[in-house]
Amino acid sequence: MNKRSFLKSLAFLGISGSFGFKEKVSQVPGIDFSADNFWEQIRAAYKLKPDYINLENGYYCFLPQETLEKYIEHLREVNYQGSHYMRTVQWDNKAKSVAMLAELVGAKAEEVILTRNTTESLDLVISGYPWESGDEAIMSNQDYGSMLSMFDLAGRRHGISVKRIDIPMHPANDEEIVAVYESAITPKTKLMMVPDIVNITGHILPVRKICDMAHSHGVEVMVDGAHAVGQFTFNMEELHCDYYGSSLHKWLSVPLGAGMLYIKDGKASKLQPLLAPFNLDEEGLHRLNHTGTHAVSTDLAVINAIEFQQKIGSQRKEDRLRYIQRYWSDQVRDLPNVVINTPLDPKRSCAIANVGISTMKPAELAKRLLDEYQIFTVAIDGAGVKGCRISPNVYTSEADMDAFVTAIKQLSGNA
C-alpha cells in the first residue's frame, strides 16, 4: 500500500472525529444523556459569555465546546498535512460529511452539496436557472433581502418579472397560505421561492402543500431553509420541493461558513454553474459546486456537529426549542401593548418568535433590552413586522427566559 492509499484508508476508517489523523481530539467533559438534569448539562457544554443573555442565535448558533475542540483539531491537522491532505483525502472526506448530512435531512447523497451558506446555495439556483425573457418568479415580502435582490438581478439580466406576495402572519389554516401563493401564479410562472421558516417571525410554512399546489401548475419550488436544518425535523423527500438551501452555521452549530444545497435528482443539469468548474461538460450536481480552494476543516466539522445533534436527538431538540419559545411567549401574549408576531398554532413555530411593544420602536426595544436588562436580541422593522426576533438555543434556561419575560412586562407597562 502506498502512502496515498494508506492515508485514504485511514480516512475511511471511522466516520467520527479525527478522520485518521495522528493527534488525539482534545478531551471534553462527557454528557449523561439519560440524566434528569439533561438540559443543564447541555447548557454546561457551551461556554457562555456572562455579559448578556444571548437570544440572537438565529444569526449564528455558536458551537458547543465539544464541536469547537474537534474543529480546532481539524484545523491543526489539515495545517499539519498541508497540500498532501488537499491532494489526497479532502474530497473523500467531504463526501462523508455530505452523506451524513443527506441522511439527516432525508435526501440522497447525490442530491446534496456542501456550500458556504444559504446565500451561495440559493444564488446558485437563481443565477443558474434557464430563464427566458418574460418568465415570472414568485416570492414573498417576508423573504430574506439579498435573496430578493438576487431575483431582481435576474430580472435585470434576463428580463424576468418578479412578483411578491405577503405571507399571512396568523393564518386560519394551511390552505389560506397556499391560496396566497397560488393567486400569484400565471402561465408564465416558472419558479417560486418559499421560506421553510420565515426568519423574522419564526413562522413555519406548509411547504409540502405549497409544493404540491405549485407543481400542479407546472411551477418549481425553491425552499429557503436557512433556519430549518438543525432546528426542527423534516424529510426532504416528503417536502417534495425541487431546490432547498440552508445555512449549517445556524441551527446545526457547524463552524461559520457552512451551507447545504439540495437539488432534486435529475434537475441539476438544467442549471448553469455560478463559478465555472474545470470541466464545463461534467454532468450532475458537482459541476455547480466549484468554489476553488476552500476551508476544508469546516467540511470535516459538519460530522462533529451532526454527532452532537444526534446525541441530543433531533426530535428532542425540536421539542425543547418549541417548549422554550412557548415558555416565554405564552406569558406575555395577552398583555396590553404586547404584540406577538408569530402564529399561535404550535406546528407553525419552533425556537424563533417575534415580540413587539406597540408603544416602542423595535430598535428602541432592542436597545433597552440590552442596556437595561443585558438581553441581546435583534430588531425587525419591515415587511409588516415590528418587534424583536427572539431566538434561544438548546443552552437557554427557563431562568434566562424569566428574565426576558420580566423585561417585556416592565417595558410594556405591565409589571
Ligand X SMILES: Cc1ncc(COP(=O)(O)O)c(C=O)c1O
Give the footprint of ligand X on this chain (CB under 6 A): 117-119, 144, 147, 195, 199, 224, 226-227, 247
Q: How far is the CB of 247 from ligand X (least distance, A)?
A: 3
Q: How far is the CB of 257 from ligand X (least distance, A)?
A: 9
* Cα(107)–Cα(235) distance, integer angstroms: 7
* Cα(369)–Cα(410) distance, integer angstroms: 11
Closest CA to 415 of 300, 309, 338: 338
Report phi then psi at 13, rounded to 5: -60, -45
H/E stretch holding 305? helix 296-312
Beta strands 112-115; 259-263: pairing state: antiparallel
Q: How far is the CB of 118 from ligand X (least distance, A)?
A: 4
Report residue 142 as a C-alpha cell: 417576508
Q: Whose Cβ is closer to ligand X: residue 140's or residue 396's?
A: 140
Q: Whose Cβ is closer to ligand X: residue 56's or residue 400's?
A: 56
Closest CA to 325 of 342, 338, 308: 342
Q: How far is the CB of 251 from ligand X (least distance, A)?
A: 11
Q: Whose Cβ is closer to ligand X: residue 227's or residue 287's?
A: 227
Q: Whose Cβ is closer to ligand X: residue 117's or residue 342's?
A: 117
Q: Whose Cβ is closer to ligand X: residue 226's or residue 303's?
A: 226
Q: How far is the CB of 245 from ligand X (least distance, A)?
A: 7
Q: How far is the CB of 200 from ligand X (least distance, A)?
A: 8
Q: Whose Cβ is closer to ligand X: residue 10's or residue 378's?
A: 378
Q: How far is the CB of 34 from ligand X (least distance, A)?
A: 34
Q: How far is the CB of 225 from ligand X (least distance, A)?
A: 8
* Cα(216)–Cα(192) distance, integer angstroms: 13
Helices (H), 57-202: 65-81, 83-88, 90-105, 118-128, 145-158, 174-182
Beta strands 353-357; 259-263: pairing state: unpaired
**SS3 of residue 115 by DSSP:** strand
Q: How far is the CB of 224 from ligand X (least distance, A)?
A: 5
Q: How far is the CB of 312 from ligand X (least distance, A)?
A: 22
Ordered DSSP codes for 39-80: HHHHHHTS---TTSEE-BTTT--PPPHHHHHHHHHHHHHHHH
Which neighbouring-strand residues pair with 243?
Answer: 222, 263
Q: Whose Cβ is closer to ligand X: residue 227's or residue 320's?
A: 227
* Cα(154)–Cα(269) distance, integer angstroms: 19
Q: Whose Cβ is closer to ligand X: residue 195's or residue 392's?
A: 195
* Cα(166)–Cα(143) distance, integer angstroms: 10
Q: Whose Cβ is closer to ligand X: residue 88's or residue 298's?
A: 298
Q: Whose Cβ is closer to ligand X: residue 94's or residue 227's?
A: 227
Q: What share of the chain is helix, strand, coil (3-state, %, to 5)?
A: 45, 15, 40
Q: Whose Cβ is closer to ligand X: residue 11's or residue 383's?
A: 383
Beta strands 189-195; 220-224: pairing state: parallel
Q: How far is the CB of 45 from ligand X (least distance, A)?
A: 23
CB contact at 8 A, 144 and 224: yes
Closest CA to 321 of 351, 345, 291, 353: 351
